Amino acid sequence: MKRILLVVLIAILILSYFVNWYVTEQQKKLDEENILESLEKDFYFCKIIKREDKDIWLICNGRPFYAIYDNGELNYELNGWSFLKNDVIVWNDLDNCDFYTYKDSELIFYCPKDFDSKNMVAKIYKFDDEINIEKIREENFFDILVNDIEKVYPFLSSCEFKDFNSFKSENYPPVLEIYFDCSEGDYVIYTDLATVPLQPPILLNSDLPYEEKSKMSFEKSFNLPIEYIDSLNNQTTITSKNFNVRYFFSENTCGLAYKIDKIYDEEDAEMAIREFGKYFIFPPIEKINTIEFIGEISDDVLSFKINDVDIVSVNHIKTLNLINSFWKKTEGIYR
């Protein structure tokens, strides 16, 4: 009889263990589903790498991400980069730096983050499957930046990177003004690596009329046939099919605005990203293999997931059936 009771007791303990294990695993699975769903709402598409109590390490949009999950609430700081603080050496090394992009498990940071130096440095780290990171080298940031710009506008590869300036405006990120010396004159490009991913090259040669400078800028940048040109004072508008670019010049500055017409829905927006996004999205996406519509941020903003890692949005003005800007979701520390 005692033997039977002992066997029953052992069976109950084993059953209790497996029930508790099953309940714990189911709760863990439910928690992880909630974590991923919560992050997707903010357009972070993630997979969980490891979890230690409240601490969650993930790969989101292709790069490391750290969050805390406590009592059903998910919290993260510094756009998911707060895990860098765990290593004092790394955190001090990246003081006044921000994230640029990732390539083959390499994380590229640029320093200083406000571009306020003529000696911009790229600090390159590598991360493993456990999201342990280590510094592997430093490079001249502008060697990387110029190489990426030349991928977007190949004609600049026959030019020479000349110089850059940075300037700040209240309530906006600092902007880079980048100059290339080409045979026909200097071209300028603007970017803040955030809200203004990349403004295409504009020819600054003062000996040419505005219309000629606009025409050369358009043909060199986009390699598209010009169907219509309209000039008035210091502005020139150039049209190629449903693509329209307006260049404007003043004594001390220049700029452009663009639009793609006949965009009625997300399918048309996807086609616009494939055809025209490559001229504006930065850092560049060298090849679009897959593109998936993931939702609307607001009435006029459509967002897409590219190659499962990059999030690209377009400003779609529905009342006019046009797109007038593209940008990639920034993964920066301070964005």
For every residue of 52-113, which 3-state class applies, written as one string? Answer: ECCEEEEEECCEEEEEEEECCEEECCHHHCHHHHHCHHHHHHCCCCEEEEEECCEEEEEECC
Q: Would 333 be classed as within a structural domain?
A: no
Q: Where does the pLDDT of residue 21 fall: very low under 50, low under 70, confident under 90, or very high at 90 and above?
A: very low
Same domain, 95 and 158: no
Q: Which of 10-24, 94-108, 172-186 has the lowest mean pLDDT?
A: 10-24
Residue 150: pLDDT band with limits 50, 70, 90: very high
Among 260, 277, 306, residue at a domain's last position: 260
- Most confident region among 145-159, 190-204, 294-308 by mean pLDDT: 145-159
67 and 127 part of one domain: no
Which pLDDT score is estimated for 8? 56
For residues 205-221, average pLDDT: 91
Residue 12 reports pLDDT greater than 70: no
CB atoms within 10 A of CB 130: 9
Report which of 326, 334, 207 is spatially closest to residue 259, judged by C-alpha positions. Answer: 326
- Locus of tokens 């055809």: 275
The answer to whether residue 91 sits within a structural domain is: yes
Q: Report pLDDT for 5.
A: 60
Residue numbers of the domain that contains 127? 87-142
| Greater pLDDT, 304 or 21 | 304
User: Does residue 189 register a pLDDT over 50?
Assistant: yes
Domain-terminating residue out of 260, 279, 313: 260
User: Does residue 113 fall inside a structural domain?
Assistant: yes
Per the CB < 8 A criterion, the answer to whether 236 and 218 are in contact is: no
Whether residue 211 is found in the same domain as residue 161: yes
Q: Is 239 helix (H, G, I), strand (E, B) or coil?
A: strand
Residue 267 reports pLDDT greater than 90: yes
Q: Residue 147: inside a domain, yes or no? A: no
pLDDT of 326 above 50: yes
Percent pLDDT > 70 in the chain is 91
Residue range 26-72, pLDDT digits in tens:
556 667 888 999 999 888 999 999 988 899 999 999 899 999 998 88
Burial class from Cβ neighbours inside 10 Å (0-12, 13-18, 19+) for residue 129 reads: exposed
Indicate whether 254 and 200 sit together in one domain.
yes
Q: Are residues 296 and 252 in the same domain?
A: no
Residue 334 lies in a domain: no
pLDDT of residue 167: 84
Instruction: Specify if 148 maps to a domain.
Output: no
pLDDT at site 268: 96
Is there a contact between 283 and 262 (Cβ–Cβ < 8 Å)?
no
Does 171 share its domain with 250?
yes
Angstrom CA distances, 313 to 27, 141, 198, 250, stand at: 35, 26, 14, 30
DSSP 330: P
- Co-location of 238 and 167 in the same domain: yes
Average pLDDT over residues 101-108: 88
- CA-to-CA separations, 326 to 84, 188, 322, in angstroms, rounded: 30, 19, 12
Task: Give the N- to C-terminal CA distance of the chain in Å, as an integer.
Answer: 71
Kindly state the tokens that stand for 239: 């049209």
Q: Which of 17-31, 71-85, 174-188, 221-235 has the lowest mean pLDDT?
A: 17-31
My answer on whether 160 and 224 are in the same domain is yes
Q: Are 216 and 157 members of one domain? A: yes
Q: Is the domain of 112 the same as that of 69?
A: no
Tokens of 331: 């993964």
Query: Looking at the whole model, is its pTM more than 0.75?
Result: yes
Across 13-37, average pLDDT: 63
* pLDDT number for residue 32: 84
Residue 223 included in any domain: yes
Is the domain of 237 the same as that of 293? no
CA nearest neighbour of 268 among 323, 197, 324: 323
252 pLDDT more than 70: yes
Percent of the chain with pLDDT over 90: 67
> How many domains, in total, are found in the chain?
4
DSSP bridge pairs for 229:
238
Tell me the average pLDDT across 272-294.
Answer: 93
Please give the mean pLDDT across all residues of the chain.
88
Residue type for 121, please? V
